Amino acid sequence: MTVNLLEFDLDGLTAFCERLGEKRFRAIQLFRWIHQRGARDFDQMSDLAKSLREKLKTSAVVQALPVISEHQSSDGTVKWLFDVGAGNAVEAVFIPEDDRGTLCISSQAGCAVGCRFCSTGHQGFSRNLLTAEIVAQLWFAEHTLRERLKTKDRVISNVVMMGMGEPLQNYSALVPALRVMLDDHAYGMSRRRVTVSTSGVVPMMDRLAVDCPVALAVSLHAPNDLLRDDLVPLNRKYPIDELMDACNRYLVHAPRDFITFEYCMLDGVNDQAEHARQLVELVQRHAGAGVWCKFNLIPFNPFPASGLHRSGAVQVAAFAKILSDAGIVTTVRKTRGDDIDAACGQLAGEVQDRTRVVERMAKRRTIAIEPAGSAARPHKEA
């Protein structure tokens, strides 16, 4: 049985190397080859002893996910659809901006939370991704983009766990993946630039604060339990006041001094002035010493099965003003990658029918672009 080395954080890789009779500094060298150089061929790893390379060849691989398709939007956003087997596909989206490059990553195939406004939620839950499958999205995107841009510099500076799935319902695979992102021998990202987004899995927020504190975004979407129970069914288990308390506890350990609340603007559902006033009251009631959150209003990306509609721009602006006037920093998210269905919540839009999605996608993707170079990468013909 060969092991996929993308499955390991540095401690895991060290343990693996020790089983092969190798010291920790060898694990560090190997880790750097894989994540900093994008190497997958052990023969390339010239500073490793030949005997170790031979051992690795028989016991390990560096295995990316097969790419089903790739799309590039006119605004530079790139979306990849990856095959995770048994007809399941997950997506990662790269969003370039002037001062940063952000990769949006998936944590599960499907999602069990079942939010009403989310196409992944409508799809249902298929399975948790392995650590290797989470890390592979970053490994592939970073090294593919570097190769294309002909640079040795880091292209992806930020990661947001905002693709498909609820990351805190795949906790044991998530944490080692975050450690790989943060490790100076791998991607060396700042904790402030790695964001876990959650619909509010309270006990796991507490664990994350201790195990691996990174920036946190909480998908709020409603100012009261009645409405949130309906939009985010997990609220029935962890109601808003408990969620707010968990946010305050998280802040004690967090690398940033605020939590970002995401709020998807749904026409006539959660976007009225009264809802904004309730949010202000909610935040003030839980604020303690001062303002501790930011709001990110997300224009809803509609899909037919939801029966919901995007709030109008005037409504969004009026809503934002009520929050801002109360001293809460509020931004309205730009939609990116609209033309390739890479905007939030659209990631799963095309994979709702889970039967033979891989074949179906492969047929439909007539404009798929082959990843340039590195033909050795596992890759499905599209």
Burial environment of residue 268 by CB neighbours within 10 A (0 to 12, 13 to 18, 19 or more): exposed
**Range in contact with ligand SF4 (rule: CB under 6 A) among 88-96, 107-115, 300-308, 332-340:** 107-115
Q: Are 269 and 311 in contact (CB under 8 A)?
A: no
Q: Residue 27: name its binding partner from ligand SF4, ligand SAH, none (Cβ under 5 to 8 Å by kind).
A: none
Complex with ligand SF4: residue 102 or 120, whichever CB lies closer: 120
How many residues of this chain interact with ligand SF4, rule: CB under 6 A?
11
How many residues of this chain interact with ligand SAH, rule: CB under 6 A?
15
Q: Which of residues 203-222 bind ligand SAH (CB under 6 A)?
A: 219
Q: Residue 262: name its binding partner from ligand SF4, ligand SAH, none (Cβ under 5 to 8 Å by kind).
A: ligand SAH
CB 346, min distance to ligand SF4, A: 11
Complex with ligand SAH: residue 309 or 363, whichever CB lies closer: 309
Q: Residue 162: name its binding partner from ligand SAH, ligand SF4, none (Cβ under 5 to 8 Å by kind).
A: ligand SAH
Active-site residue (options: 70, 91, 142, 350):
91
Is 344 labeled as catalytic in the residue annotation?
yes
Strand-pairing partners, residue 96, are 101
Comparing C-alpha atoms, which of 154, 99, 63 is closest to residue 378? 63
Is 17 labeled as catalytic in the residue annotation?
no
Q: Does 199 bind ligand SAH (CB under 6 A)?
A: yes
CB 282, min distance to ligand SF4, A: 20
Burial 51-74 (b: 16+ CB within 10 A, else e): ebbebbeeebbbbbbbbbbbbbbe
Q: Residue 114: name its binding partner from ligand SAH, ligand SF4, none (Cβ under 5 to 8 Å by kind).
A: ligand SF4
Strand-pairing partners, residue 3, are 60
Q: How far apart are the first and last CA of the chain?
A: 29
Which strand (E) or helix (H) includes residue 68? strand 67-72
Comparing C-alpha atoms, which of 95, 91, 71, 93 is closest to residue 81? 91
Q: Is 59 left (phi over 0), alpha (psi -120 to 50) or beta?
A: alpha
Q: Residue 349: name its binding partner from ligand SAH, ligand SF4, none (Cβ under 5 to 8 Å by kind).
A: none
Q: Residue 264: name its binding partner from ligand SF4, ligand SAH, none (Cβ under 5 to 8 Å by kind).
A: ligand SAH
Q: Are 196 and 167 in contact (CB under 8 A)?
A: yes
Comparing C-alpha atoms, which of 362, 360, 322, 378 is closest to residue 139? 378
Q: Does 111 bind ligand SF4 (CB under 6 A)?
A: yes
Q: Is 141 left (phi over 0), alpha (psi -120 to 50) or beta?
A: alpha
Q: Does 300 bind ligand SAH (CB under 6 A)?
A: yes
Which strand (E) or helix (H) includes residue 319? helix 313-325
Q: Does 198 bind ligand SAH (CB under 6 A)?
A: yes
Q: Are 310 and 267 in contact (CB under 8 A)?
A: yes
Q: Does 199 bind ligand SF4 (CB under 6 A)?
A: yes
Comparing C-alpha atoms, which of 277, 278, 291 is closest to residue 247? 291
Q: Are 263 and 275 in contact (CB under 8 A)?
A: no
Tell which one of 12, 87, 101, 114 touches ligand SF4 (CB under 6 A). 114
User: What is the binding site for ligand SF4 (CB under 6 A)?
Assistant: 111, 113-115, 118, 120-121, 165-166, 199, 219
Catalytic sites, residue numbers: 91, 344
The residues binding ligand SAH (CB under 6 A) are: 117-118, 162, 166, 197-199, 219, 262, 264, 298, 300-301, 344-345
